[in-house]
Structure 1
């Protein structure tokens, strides 16, 4: 379960203090001081959902919520720039996982676990229509979330363009990719773009420099998103190790 706070003053003070919030829910028809909460949420890019008051009654378990509640993140989000800077401090080429439409917190936690184990420098997720960092994600990551920076952005297409401008190649995972993943060059500065369950990359495929596929030998047509992402991340790790060793 996500930790929650409710009531106009607690939510407003959390916004003023810069606490990491996943989402704010507001009862339809709310008036008065709710305006400042909405303004600050918009400035911070925090999603706001308008719901029936009965929904917040249930979430707050009968407490006096004044028509507003907020879901807290178990970890503060970082910026994309900070992720790139961390790679530079480690004197390594950046390796970043960019997740498109990942709505399942279990999958997100599993991918974060693999990304941290594979030496990735960070994960980028969407602000809307995707799972935020929650207690369930932290648990599924088996502790990896505490060690891996996660950035949450409003526009993935713009983010991919920004990553290209600082020297990263952008590889997308797609069943129709032109290259098997083990034939692609994943050893340099890289952003791996991975679609969520059953969603694929959508229009973001056009923002990728190249697309890679994971060949299937059995009757199963696709892999779980976290499994597919893990395969690609560890292939990138393998290629980087070979490059560092001076072998092909």
Structure 2
């Protein structure tokens, strides 16, 4: 039994079949009930290992809540409702274009409403693609789709295993990486021309230390009020419009 409305596939047969036949990029999380039959658990772990997926063992009541009392039989997969793009294919496509691409990398954005809003602004400002990590971040869910108001169908989203390695790959291909930090350069001086990647950090922790080390320059949004931080989607919107202004001056 499955439930596409809830972005879950659950039940032994449906879950195992999905693990066997679907690309790992379609699977956000694997939840396995504590104390299930050993042979069943061994099969699930084997399939997950082959696809590089992490299994989270949880009590039965956790699975009951996820599928609203559905007959999960000890296995629930949180799956992506929308297809992800392949990054290497996207980069090859961008290399054939006359204009320099602008990419957006999101370091562990956890709120699906934030991701949906960011996709909406990315579409409005001409972002070529968005890159997100496979772990510790929201994927493309129905909530993201609804919040994006259709932008999810127009902005390619690539999901990668390691943002640091992806950053190194992008730099080798001639991309410049810009991150956000309280002590960075004023964003109004940002020249975003060329092959550019803007990196936005997690809502609470910002950009991770190892990823920050890959940045060519850090940008900051000056604030004169009492609250010294902005919502991730709002900050992204400000920076994306600065990018648009920089690339398309009046």
The alignment's TM-score, normalised by the length of structure 2, stands at 0.89
- For the pair 1:92 / 2:99, whether they are aligned, the reply is yes
Q: Distance in 2 between matches of 1:213 and 1:140?
A: 26
Q: Which residue of 2 aligns with 1:141?
A: 148
Residue of structure 2 aligned with 1:11, choices 1, 10, 15:
15
Q: Distance in 2 between matches of 1:2 and 1:90?
A: 38
Residue of structure 2 aligned with 1:32, choices 23, 39, 43:
39
Q: Distance in 1 between matches of 2:214 and 2:168?
A: 7
Q: Which residue of 1 aligns with 2:196?
A: 190
Once the 2 structures are TM-superposed, how far is the Cα of residue 145 of structure 1 from its aligned partner? 0.6
Q: Which residue of 2 aligns with 1:22?
A: 28
Once the 2 structures are TM-superposed, how far is the Cα of residue 183 of structure 1 from its aligned partner? 1.0
The alignment's TM-score, normalised by the length of structure 1, stands at 0.89
Q: Which residue of 1 aligns with 2:157?
A: 150
Q: Distance in 2 between matches of 1:63 and 1:226?
A: 34
1:106, 1:140 within 8 Å by CA — same for their partners in 2?
yes
Q: Which runs of 5+ in 1 are unaligned?
A: none
Q: Which residue of 1 aligns with 2:50?
A: 43
Q: Which residue of 1 aligns with 2:61?
A: 54
- For the pair 1:231 / 2:235, whether they are aligned, the reply is no
Q: Which residue of 2 aligns with 1:220?
A: 227
2:113, 2:147 within 8 Å by CA — same for their partners in 1?
yes
Once the 2 structures are TM-superposed, how far is the Cα of residue 105 of structure 1 from its aligned partner? 0.8
Number of residue equivalences:
242
Deviates more, 1:84-93 or 1:225-234: 84-93
Q: Which runs of 5+ in 2 are unaligned?
A: none
Q: Distance in 2 between matches of 1:41 and 1:92?
A: 40
Q: Which residue of 2 aligns with 1:181?
A: 187
1:25, 1:48 within 8 Å by CA — same for their partners in 2?
yes
Once the 2 structures are TM-superposed, how far is the Cα of residue 167 of structure 1 from its aligned partner? 0.8
Q: Which residue of 2 aligns with 1:76?
A: 83
Q: Distance in 2 between matches of 1:42 and 1:65?
A: 21
Give the 3 Å change call, closer, same or farther, for CA 135–53 of structure 1 in structure 2: same
SS in 2 for 1:182: helix
Q: Which residue of 1 aligns with 2:134?
A: 127
Q: Which residue of 1 aligns with 2:173?
A: 166
Once the 2 structures are TM-superposed, how far is the Cα of residue 5 of structure 1 from its aligned partner? 1.6
